[in-house]
Amino acid sequence: MKDLIRQAITARENAYAPYSGYRVGAALRTKGGRIYTGCNIENAAFSPSCCAERVSFYNAVSCGEHDFEAIAIVGGPKNHMSGPAPCGVCRQVMAEFCDPYSFQIIMAKSEEDYETIVLEELLPRGFSLPSDKTESIKKNRT
């Protein structure tokens, strides 16, 4: 846990948040043990902005990864870290790739102060296709 949180803290240093000042870092661990990081990236037009959690997922998926076990998230204004929960959009992206009952979301204020929760607790009854369609897509995805 500490290593994953440490990497999220490092990723946060690259946050581009000139509009909100709210800097977030995320570190996503695959089932194979690789870690992909992300930071929030804001935009003057606001809509193109992207959360650190999604950047880490898109970073990993763009490298061919599809199986994940945990994500650590740190964030807050300037030098303060509040242990933020992911937004609804990021929760839905997690639901696309992660088992809701085992994927761990680590919301950290520091390496020692964090809360771990599984996706099902953050996104109960999230949108999904019928399970037979989901299995077919996962089997055929490239």
Residue in 90, 94, 106, 123 binding Zn ion, rule: CB under 5 A: 90
Q: Does 51 bind Zn ion (CB under 5 A)?
A: yes
Q: Does 15 bind Zn ion (CB under 5 A)?
A: no
Stretch that binds Zn ion, among 45-53, 94-102, 103-111, 118-126 (CB under 5 A): 45-53
CA–CA separation, 87 and 50 (whole Å)? 11
Q: Does 117 bind Zn ion (CB under 5 A)?
A: no
Asked if residue 72 lies in contact with residue 103, where contact means CB atoms within 8 angstroms, the answer is no
Q: Is 13 a catalytic residue?
A: no
Start-end of H helices in the chain: 2-12, 52-62, 88-97, 119-122, 131-140
Which residues contribute to the site for Zn ion (CB under 5 A)?
51, 87, 90
